[in-house]
Amino acid sequence: MTTTSPVRLGLIGSGWIGAFHAETIARRIPGAVLEVVADPVPGAAERVAAPLGVSKTALDAAEVFADPAVDGVVISSPAFTHTDLVVAAAEAGKAVFVEKPMALTLEDADRAILAAQRAGVPLQTGFNRRFSHDFASAHAIVAEGGIGTPQLLRSLTRDPGIPNPGAVKPWTIFLETLIHDFDTLNWFNGGAVPVEVFAVADALAYPDFKESGLLDTAMVTIRYSNGAIASAEANFSAAYGYDVRGEVFGSGGMVTAGDVRATSMRQYTASGEAAPTTRRNIDLFHQAYTDELVSFADVIRSGGPVVGATGTDARAALVIALACIESVTRNAPVALDGRGAVI
């Protein structure tokens, strides 16, 4: 495509994050057009598309892949559908952006990566923290040796609550929540691979749903091939708001990223000091969610390499998530080989 042509994107999946991506594409990405919205639930695509002036909708994602007007697809459907949609999109010659997790098994991750490689199309995954200004600045400092040799790394995600705990699928805390933290730790500790993982998890916030498989609190320790030790934690009941932070401590200093506070404003009253917080990840990472899709559109336009997380990066985060599941199941640390298989 020419550099002056609009990038035409198809959206697959119109749930809450799909609806947010639709608005981002239609209203916040220069030179991008939301061409079509697809969702298998009757009326769902229309509810998202109509307010944005998008007339083309579909029940079947295959219609999006077959549409010659579509340059790339944004996949925001349920996690279990991701791999097959990535493969189908790649085989149709479409650039692919897929929400995390890209796959739920290493075999499926390899299948998605291979499909994109064979088709020669970009494959970007939705790890938005790489586009958050504070996390990106911290990564640059670490990569440039600004804190010396990384020794201890930390990443955390605390969600302010679950509207329907009974609907949360088993292992979600690792596969869909902490997987962001695993990507962040891998990214911060560039080049190193995990060699041992130990995870502890329980239902502390919603104990009545433990029998249905809900785990709402988790702590993970990761030992990397370069000797660095990392921790990742998650909880689904942060009363004070959505909380995401990262830290790298090294031989020459420390760098941190993330802040639960929505702004630098402080209120001082007889009750003490107060600061506003956010309740939704799309508010805390509004800029990052936008910039990751701006980057995706730029890659399609320029033909250059993916700037954000690749399919290989998604696989690397999945390695840790799956090792966590094995560790919790065994109630013991698990060792990993160089390709991520549990030894």
DSSP structure string for 93-113: T-EEEEPSPS-SSHHHHHHHH
- If you write DSSP's letter for every residue of 31-77 in order, what string do you get? TEEEEEEE-SSTTHHHHHHGGGT---EESSHHHHHT-TT--EEEE-S
Supply the pLDDT for residue 262: 65
Interval 130-158: pLDDT, tens: 999 999 999 999 999 999 999 999 999 99
Instruction: Give the fold, CATH level 3, of 130-284+317-335.
Output: Dihydrodipicolinate Reductase; domain 2 (3.30.360)
Mean pLDDT, range 220-230, rounded to an integer: 97
Among 148, 129, 186, smallest CA distance to 308 is for: 129
Round to whole Å and give the CA distance between 94 and 86.
9
Helix (H) or strand (E) holding 17: helix 16-28
Of 93-102, 145-154, 263-272, the least confident:
263-272
pLDDT at 21 over 90: yes
Could you tell me the pTM of the whole model? 0.94
Round to whole Å and give the CA distance between 154 and 165.
27
CB 209 within 8 A of CB 132: no
Domain parsing of the chain, residue ranges? 7-121, 130-284+317-335
Instruction: Give the fold, CATH level 3, of 7-121.
Output: Rossmann fold (3.40.50)
pLDDT at 240 over 70: yes
pLDDT at 47 over 80: yes
pLDDT at 264 over 70: no
Torsions phi, psi for 60 (to 5 deg): -110, 125
Q: What is the percentage of the chain residues whose pLDDT exceeds 70? A: 95
pLDDT at 193 over 80: yes
Please name the amino acid found at residue 166.
G
At 271, the pLDDT band (50, 70, 90 cuts) reads confident
Helices (H), 144-250: 172, 178-188
Round to whole Å and give the CA distance between 5 and 247.
41
| DSSP three-state, residue 263 | coil
As given in the structure block, the two tokens for residue 40 are 């298998």
Supply the pLDDT for residue 259: 79
CB 302 within 8 A of CB 3: yes
Q: Pick the more confident residue, 262 or 336.
A: 336
Residue 175 has what DSSP assignment?
A: I
At 209, the pLDDT band (50, 70, 90 cuts) reads very high
- What is the number of residues in the chain? 343
**Residues 217-222: contacts with CB under 8 Å, at least 24 apart:** 217/173, 218/173, 218/174, 218/178, 218/324, 220/178, 220/181, 220/320, 220/324, 221/197, 221/333, 222/182, 222/185, 222/194, 222/196, 222/197, 222/320
Q: CA 335 → CA 169, 181, 186, 322, distances in Å?
A: 26, 19, 17, 12
pLDDT at 2 over 60: no
Interval 273-312: pLDDT, tens: 777 677 666 667 789 999 999 999 999 999 999 999 999 9
Round to whole Å and give the CA distance between 246 and 260.
11
As given in the structure block, the two tokens for residue 126 are 């939705």
Supply the pLDDT for residue 232: 98
CB 6 within 8 A of CB 30: no
Across all residues in the chain, what is the average pLDDT?
A: 94
Supply the pLDDT for residue 247: 97
Residue with tokens 């911060």: 188
Q: What is the percentage of the chain residues whose pLDDT exceeds 90? A: 85
At 20, the pLDDT band (50, 70, 90 cuts) reads very high
